[in-house]
Amino acid sequence: GAGVSQTPSNKVTEKGKYVELRCDPISGHTALYWYRQSLGQGPEFLIYFQGTGAADDSGLPNDRFFAVRPEGSVSTLKIQRTERGDSAVYLCASSRTGEEDTEAFFGQGTRLTVV
Amino acid sequence: QKEVEQDPGPLSVPEGAIVSLNCTYSNSAFQYFMWYRQYSRKGPELLMYTYSSGNKEDGRFTAQVDKSSKYISLFIRDSQPSDSATYLCAMIDSGGYQKVTFGIGTKLQVIP
């Protein structure tokens, strides 16, 4: 596609429920990143995939958060037992390679609201 | 103390003004410095990318990096209403991939 696509754009869920957020990166991009942006804050790193493997998941806040990228393209961020504090915009980005000097392109984000 | 400090604003300027945005950082391992623009309800988009200390110019935008002072700046000349957005400074260390640390963002409004 032309850019990074994230679905859904908005998700409202009840506390305690399970949610899945999807990211379709730019075709051919091997690196994929997830960030979380809370209201009035800058994005915070969650996880980095190089191909199918999670090369750095140090930003995942706890074991309720998990992400996969089984075929090295689409990625899904999974959140179990959602809490109100999980409410934020979840951003996905992809880049051609993972190297520092290649531009990462962001999607428009999924706005998650836990009620 | 946060690794990256940025004044959240808001900053309001008249059209045509020169805008100065800046960030300070504490982590000496940061080697790559960027500025992103984020419109409301959109993802960040890369504006400027610099590696070394000094100036980099692109059209109306100039990025400055002073590694000795751990201070980076973005200047916008002849500001336009379409420049109204949140500007995020961002940095990467030399870890070999793009694990980006962002500032909080400065909200800019350019008044016609």
The residue among B94 and B45 whose pLDDT is bigger is: B45
Per-residue model confidence (pLDDT) at position A1: 52
Is the pLDDT reported for residue B25 higher than 90?
yes
pLDDT 10s digits, A26-48: 999 999 999 999 999 999 999 99
Q: DSSP 3-state assignment of B11?
A: strand
SS (H, E, C) A32-69: EEEEEECCCCCCEEEEEEECCEEEECCCCCCCCEEEEC
Closest CA to B97 of A96, A3, A88: A96
Alpha-carbon gap, residue A91 to B74, rounded angstroms: 24
Window B:52-111, CB contacts with A under 8 Å: 88, 90, 92, 94-105
Q: What is the mean pLDDT of chain B?
A: 94
The residue among A1 and A94 whose pLDDT is bigger is: A94
pLDDT 10s digits, B52-104: 889 999 999 999 999 999 999 999 999 999 999 999 999 998 777 788 999 99
Residue B6, both tokens? 């940025």
Which CA distances in Å does A23 have to A11, B47, B101? 14, 23, 21
- B7 to chain A, any CB pair closer than 8 A? The answer is no
Least confident of A16-25, B46-55, B102-111: B46-55
Q: Residue B104 is nearest to which of A33, A35, A41, comparing CB atoms? A: A41
The reply to whether residue A98 touches residue B97, judged by beta carbons under 8 angstroms, is yes
Amino acid identity, residue B25?
A: Y
pLDDT band at B17 (very low <50, low <70, confident <90, very high): very high
Alpha-carbon gap, residue A109 to A95, rounded angstroms: 16
pLDDT 10s digits, A73-92: 999 999 999 999 999 999 99
Identify any residues that bridge with B105 across adjacent strands, giving them in sequence order: none
Q: DSSP 3-state assignment of A84?
A: helix
Asked if residue B69 lies in contact with residue B53, where contact means CB atoms within 8 angstroms, the answer is: no
Of chain B, the percentage scoring pLDDT greater than 70 comes to: 100
Q: Residue B99 is nearest to which of A40, A56, A103, comparing CB atoms? A: A56
Asked if residue A106 lies in contact with residue A4, where contact means CB atoms within 8 angstroms, the answer is: yes
Per-residue model confidence (pLDDT) at position B95: 74
The residue among B34 and A101 whose pLDDT is bigger is: B34
Q: Residue A109 is nearest to which of B6, B43, B94, comparing CB atoms? A: B43
Kindly give, in sequence order, each residue whose CB lies less than 8 Å from that of residue A47, ignoring residues fewer than 6 positions away: A33, A34, A54, A56, A57, A59, A60, A67, A77
| Other beta carbons within 10 Å of A6 | 24
Longest dimension (CA), chain B: 43
To the nearest whole Å, the CA of A105 is away from the closest chain B CA by: 7
Of chain A, the percentage scoring pLDDT greater than 90 comes to: 92
